[in-house]
Amino acid sequence: MKRGRLFVISASSGTGKTTLARALLQNDQKLAASISCTTRAPRPNERNAVDYYFIT
């Protein structure tokens, strides 16, 4: 497994975290976003292993 660096973007709701993350991902091909796990049911437009890992 390659070693890397972990960046955490943490701030209050509505401060632009998602906007910042998307901009960083678009501008640096070395960056990747993690995929979270959830126990809730997927919403109609969500895909397993893309939006979340849906576990039961």
Collapsed DSSP state (helix, strand, coil) of residue 22 = helix
Question: Could you tell me which of 30, 37, 42 has the C-alpha nearest to residue 55?
Answer: 37
**Mean pLDDT for back-to-back runs of 10 residues, the chain (56 residues):** 88 97 96 95 97 94
pTM exceeds 0.85: no
CA distance 22 to 39: 25
CB 54 within 8 A of CB 41: yes
Q: In the prediction, which pLDDT does 52 show?
A: 97
Q: In the prediction, which pLDDT does 3 show?
A: 86
Q: In the prediction, which pLDDT does 35 show?
A: 95
Instruction: Read off the tokens for 28.
Output: 């640096």
Q: Which amino acid is at 7?
A: F
